[in-house]
Amino acid sequence: MICVGIRQLLRPHTYDTAHSKPNSQKVRIIRPHHPLYGQSLKVVRRWKNKQVQFYIIKLPDRKHIQIPIHWTDDGTTPLPENLPDYPVLTADSIRELICLLKLLNKKFKNNKE
């Protein structure tokens, strides 16, 4: 059994930039707890998975990642000075982390044998 979100970790959505179509649009990451918070990055394309829309964005190391569109803006408004007061980890995300750790531990033990 694979936990929700584990497939993305085991098979990350990175893309070779040689196959990407260039796009001049940039977006800024506005999700406060995201490691790229406040950075503007180039959009490679839009992508829809079920009901959620994503941008495929190019990182400084030329790899691509997907990020939900609602975690971004066009970069024209100022970033908030105070970060929202909500938990970084939810009960669901903690359950997913526990499942991920169990899966990685199992894979690690199998690789050692």
Taking only the tens of pLDDT, the chain with its 113 residues reads: 445 444 444 454 444 333 344 447 899 998 888 888 899 999 999 888 778 889 999 988 889 989 999 889 988 888 877 666 666 677 888 898 999 999 998 888 887 76
pTM: 0.54
- What's the Cα-to-Cα distance from 95 to each of 1, 15, 77, 89, 99, rounded to whole Å? 14, 29, 35, 10, 6
Specify the pLDDT at position 112.
Answer: 72
Specify the pLDDT at position 56.
Answer: 92
Residue type, 103: L
Pick from 73, 90, 103, 86: which is nearest to 8 by CA?
103
Specify the pLDDT at position 102.
Answer: 92
Alpha carbon 41 to its chain centroid, in Å, reads 13
**In whole angstroms, what is the distance from residue 69 CA to residue 43 CA?**
11
Classified as helix, coil or strand, 82 is: coil
In sequence order, what are the beta bridge partners of 56? 45, 66
Q: Which H or E element spans position 99?
A: helix 91-112
Specify the pLDDT at position 34.
Answer: 84
Specify the pLDDT at position 85.
Answer: 64
